[in-house]
Amino acid sequence: MRTTLKLILPLIISVVVVSLLFAAYQVRTERRILRNDISRRAEILAESLQETVEPQFDKQLPDKSLQRLVDRFGQREHLKGVAIYNANGIALAMTSGLASLFQLRPAAAAYAADRNIGYGEFLRVNDTPIHVYALPLHRNGQMVGTLALVHDVTYIDRQVAHTLRDSLVNALVQTLFIAGLALVLVRWTLTGPLTRTAKWLRTLRTGQSHAPPSLPEGELFDQLHHEVTHLARDLNAARATAEEEARLRDSNVSLWTAERLRVSLSNKLQNKPLFVIANREPYMHVHSNGSNGNVQVIVPASGLVTALEPVLLATDGTWIAHGSGNADREVVDAKDHLRVPPDHPSYTLRRVWLSAEEEKGYYEGFANEGIWPLCHIAHTRPIFRPEDWIAYQEVNRRFADAAIAEMEGTESPIVLVQDYHFALLPRMIKEARPDARVAIFWHIPWPNPEVFGICPWQRELIDGLLGADLIGFHIQSHCNNFLSTVDRAVEALTEWDRFSVNRQGHVTRVRPYPISVALQENGHSIKPLRSTKEEGAALCNELGISATLIGVGVDRVDYTKGILERFRAIELFFELYPSYQRRFTFIQIGAPSRTNIERYQNLLADVAADAERINARFQAGHWKPILFLQRHHSHEEIARFYHAASLCMVTSLHDGMNLVAKEFVSSREDNLGVLILSTFAGAALELTDALLVNPYDVQQLAGSIHRALNMPSDEQASRMQHMRSSVREHNVYRWAANLLSDLTDIRIDTPDRIESSETLSR
C-alpha cells in the first residue's frame, strides 16, 4: 500500500494543483465577464439618458423636470441612482439615495468632464462595491454638464463567490474520483504484476522452478518481462553450472563447462583479450521491410558462430568480421564497434566493410567457387580466376590491417583466425606482430596433395597458413593431408613425429580439434518442454500440414550437404513403404546460401523443384511428404523442430564436422529420436551410435528412414544416451580449451628474445 501511495500521491497533488488553478481561472473569468457586462449596460443606459437630458438644458435649467427624469430612470435593476451636474460640478438633479454620497460630482464625472469622454470605474463606498459611469452633456456644441450613473455591484461578489464554491467542490470530487481510479489502475496494472514478478523471482532464488508470470502488454512491461526472463535464465544456468561443477568435483569427472572455460582462459590468457577473425559475423542487423523498415537482429545459420561465441563470451574478446547486413552501419560506433549479444553484451564485434566488387571476387569467387569445391569431394569443379585471387589477397590485407589496429597496445595478443577465407592472414599478422600467438582453424576438409595441387596459387596459400603458430583441423586425416601437401608444395622441414612444419625458422604445429556444441542439460530451461508428440502437433498446426511423424533436416542449401540425395531417398521410402504416406512428413529447413553464385542459384531451384515434384506425386489433402522451408531460422525456432522430430537426417557428401548432427543430439533431453548420419561427415567418427549411411546409396538411406521410424524407444534411448555422453564430454568448451591452451603454451621467439638468447650464449 505504501508503494501504491507513493505512486499516486504525485498524481493527487498534480490534480489538486491543476484544479485550483482552473478554479482561480474560472473565478477571474467570471468576475471579468460580469464587470464587462455592467460597464456595457451602464454605457448604453447613459447614452440613452443623454439624449433625453441634453434638450432640457435649453429650457433655462428647469430643475423639477430633470429631477422627475432622474427619478424615473433610477428604478432600473442594479441601478443605485442617477446624478446630473452642471459644468461647475454642482448637482442639478440626483436620485435621493445618492445625496449623501455624491453631493459633489465623483472623480469619474470630473475625469469625463475634463477629457470630454465617457468614463467608468469600480470603487467601494462605505464598504459597498459600486460602479460609476459618467458621460459629458452638451448644448450647442458646448459641454454644459455631466451625467453620472451609479450601479450597485454587490451581486458580482456574490456570483463570484458561488462560482468559487462550485469550482472547489468540483475539484474535490474530481480529485477523489481520479485518485480512486488511479489507485485501482495502479494496483491492477502495475503493483499487482510487479508483486507477482517479485514472488516469482523469490521462488527462483529459493531453487524452485515456475513459469514466468504473465504481464500486461506495453513497452515498459515488454522490456521488464524480457529482462526478468533473461535474469531468470541466467540464474537457472548459473545454479545448474554450480551444481554440475559440484557434481563433477564429487565424482572426479573432468567435464568442461562455460564457467570452467572462462576460468581456464582467464588464467591462460592472463586477462588478455582474444581476437577472433572470421568472415561471418555472429549478429547481422537488417531492415525488416526494405530500407525504411525497423532494424532487426539476425543470428546467421552457421556452425562457426555456434562454436565460437562461447569462446568470446568467456574471454570478453573481439570478433572481427565482414559487416554484411544492410543495417549494420547504422548500429556501430565511430570505430565500427558494437557490443554483443544484444540481450547481454559481453564481447565486442568489429565490422569490416567490403565493396560489392571485393565481396564478389574474394568471397563468392576465390573462396567459394575455388577453395570450397577444391576441399570438398562433391564432384563440383573448382574455378580459379586471376582477378578473384587479387581480390582475395586485398581483402586478407584489409582484415589484417583491422586486426593489427585492434591489437594496438596489447602485449603478446592471442589471435584465432577462422577458415578458408583467410589463408593468407596468419603470415600477414605474424609479420606485423611477431609477438602475437596466431592460430587458424580450418573448418572444412583438407584434400590430398593431388587435389590441392589444382589450385594455381597453392604455394602462396600454404605459405600464408604456415605463418600461424598453430593450425587446427577437425580430424587427423585432414592434418595428414595438409602435411603431405606441405611436403609436396613448398620447401620446409615436415616433422611427422611431432606433427609440425619448420619453414624458414618458424615452427607451425598441426593438430586435430574436433569442434562441437554445448550440450543442453536438464534444468537449463525455464520453460517446460512439451513432449515430442505435442510439439509435433503444434508445429504441424502452425505449418498447415497433417502428419503424426516428423523428420527434419537443417542445412545451408549447399551442394555438399546432399539434400537432393536425401529427397530421392525419401521418395524411394514412400515407394517401398506406402503405409507411411499421410503419416510421415520430412521438414527440410534450407537457409539460402551464396545466392549470388550461379551454382547455388541453380541448386536452390533444383531442391525446390525436386520437393515440388515429390509432393505432386504423393500429396494428399493437407499432408505433404516434404515441406521445404526456404529461409533463415533462429536457434530457438530450430530447437522446436529438433524436439518434435522422430529423426534427423545429415547426409553430407563431404563435411569437415557438421554441427547439425551434434545440435540435434544436444537438444534431445528426452533421449529419444534417431540421427541418420553420413559417414563422410567428421561427426561420424564420434557419433558412432547414429545410423551411419553412404548418402550416395539411396536404397540404404531409404532403409535407414524405415529403421529409424520403427526403432524401439529403449534402443533409441540407448543410442541417444551414448551420443549425448560423447557430446557432453567433447563439447565446444573442451574444443576451445584445448585449442587455446595449446596456442598459449607455444613459446614465441620474437626478435628481441632471439637477440637476448644469442647475447647470453656469447
Please state whether beta strands 274-277 and 584-591 pair in parallel, antiparallel, or not at all (unpaired): unpaired
pLDDT confidence of residue 315: 81
What is the grid cell recorded at 494? 615436415
pLDDT confidence of residue 430: 97
pLDDT confidence of residue 266: 78
* Chain centre to alpha carbon of residue 337: 17
CA–CA separation, 586 and 440 (whole Å): 37
Q: Would you list the DSSP string of 399-419?
A: HHHHHHHHTTT-SS-EEEEES
Around Cβ 123, how many Cβ atoms within 10 Å?
13
pLDDT confidence of residue 233: 65
pTM for this entry: 0.68
Of 254, 229, 257, nearest to 241 by C-alpha is: 257
As a whole number, the mean pLDDT across the chain is 87
What is the grid cell recorded at 53? 437630458
Evaluate whether 531 touches 537 at the Cβ level (below 8 Å).
no
Rounding to the nearest 10 degrees, give the CA dihedral for residues 630, 635, 636, 641.
60
Q: Which neighbouring-strand residues pair with 82?
A: 149
Of 611, 705, 609, 696, nearest to 651 by C-alpha is: 696
What is the grid cell recorded at 483? 602435411
pLDDT confidence of residue 527: 46
Q: The cell 587435389 sits on which residue?
A: 451
pLDDT in tens, 78-101: 788 888 888 888 888 888 777 767
pLDDT in tens, 145-167: 898 998 888 988 889 999 888 88
Q: Which neighbouring-strand residues pair with 511?
A: 472
Give the full edge-to-edge strand order of the sheet including 91-94: 91-94, 79-86, 142-152, 128-139, 119-125
Helix (H, G, I), strand (E, B) or coil at 357: helix
How many residues appear in the chain?
762
CA–CA separation, 723 and 171 (whole Å): 74
CA–CA separation, 102 and 88 (whole Å): 14
CA–CA separation, 153 and 759 (whole Å): 114
Around Cβ 407, how many Cβ atoms within 10 Å?
22
pLDDT in tens, 228-284: 666 666 666 666 555 555 555 544 556 888 778 878 887 788 778 899 999 999 999
pLDDT in tens, 372-407: 999 999 889 999 999 999 999 999 999 999 999 999
CA–CA separation, 408 and 527 (whole Å): 44
Share of the chain above pLDDT 90, in %: 54
Half-sphere exposure at residue 463, Cβ-oriented, CA atoms within 13 angstroms: 11
Per DSSP, 333 falls in state: -
pLDDT in tens, 276-322: 999 999 999 998 776 667 888 888 766 567 667 878 887 889 999 99
pLDDT confidence of residue 310: 77
Evaluate whether 88 touches 70 at the Cβ level (below 8 Å).
no
pLDDT confidence of residue 235: 67
